[in-house]
Amino acid sequence: MLLQVIVSGIATGCIYSLMALGLTLIYKSTEHVNFAQGDMSMISGFLAFTFFQFLRLPFIPSLFLALLFSIGLGLLMERLLVRPAITAPHFNIFIITLGASIVMQSFAGLVWSYDQFPFPTLFPAKNIILGGVRLNTNALGIICTTGLLMLALFLFFKYTRIGTAMRAVSQSQNAALLMGINVKRSFALTWAISGFISGIAALLIAPVIFLSTRMGLVVIDGFAAAILGGWGSIPGAVLGGIALGVLENVAPYYFPSQIRNIIPFAVLVGVLVIKPTGIIGEERRRRV
């Protein structure tokens, strides 16, 4: 029974990992914090919903179309909101993405209303019994999809030319510029990838928690996950997400069930008070 809860916790955790990963990628390349990551997800979910529900497109192509749009949304954010203020302090970009988050939420509320909509799942709903543990196929599907995406990202950053260039930019923008890397394009690409991840997250999470304008709040779990793992570290984001998901699913077993609502916040406060660098983050010292 506990094992089953842990597996579904890992599945929830995968979604948090995806959120945390999107945040971390952007942070690593430009040190910007994107508060609108969850709302980008929400918009992608609603777009997919519109394609197959109102425009009557077939289900799978609508999802792909929505993913394309989510990439576009990432690029749009970078071009319209971040680049005009690229020289401003990071504080300003944080406030700008906060504004973007409000705009996306109210926009979605105006277009699609504040109701909740059921979202069909990608995976057949069946239970598999594996070694005496009853496993939900949806949870397994989420875990596998996330795993594949992470693997693809790892290969991309490790072995492709563009991926290597992007890693170079995240280490030092000036040095990368001197090596002839197009830094601006690299920033745009980071946002595009981040948008794509938010789109995938939307398709995985919407069947579980229903599609609604409040879906964007998952970004807070993403922050909690990234900080728990170690802010700015990609393995940390993945690990933190899974740890948070498991914690959230296991805690109601031992404590009153309302505790579930405040776990991400308790984790945020707890980690920041006890060890702000998280599980595997390292302390950064800045030169004056």
Shortest CB 102 distance to other proteins, Å: 3
Work out whether 276 is an interface residue with other proteins (CB under 8 A): yes
Site for other proteins in 221-240 (CB under 8 A): 223-224, 227, 231
DSSP letter string over 216-280?
Answer: GGHHHHHHHHHHHH-TT-HHHHHHHHHHHHHHHHHHHHHS-TTHHHHHHHHHHHHHHHH-TTTTT
Do 214 and 8 form a contact (C-beta atoms < 8 A)?
Answer: no
Angle in degrees, 0-180, between the axes of helices 161-171 and 2-30, rounded to the nearest 10:
70
Work out whether 269 is an interface residue with other proteins (CB under 8 A): yes
Do 215 and 38 form a contact (C-beta atoms < 8 A)?
Answer: yes
Contact characters 29-58, other proteins, x per CB under 8 A = ----x-------------------------
Do 139 and 7 form a contact (C-beta atoms < 8 A)?
Answer: yes
Work out whether 266 is an interface residue with other proteins (CB under 8 A): yes
Work out whether 109 is an interface residue with other proteins (CB under 8 A): yes
Residue 84: Cβ within 10 Å count: 10
Contact characters 76-95, other proteins, x per CB under 8 A = -----x--xx--x-xxx-xx
Site for other proteins in 157-186 (CB under 8 A): none
In angstroms, the CA 62 to CA 68 distance is 10
Nearer to other proteins, 179 or 269 (CB): 269
Work out whether 116 is an interface residue with other proteins (CB under 8 A): no
Shortest CB 51 distance to other proteins, Å: 23
Nearer to other proteins, 22 or 207 (CB): 22
Shortest CB 6 distance to other proteins, Å: 25
H or E segment at 128? strand 127-130
Work out whether 211 is an interface residue with other proteins (CB under 8 A): no
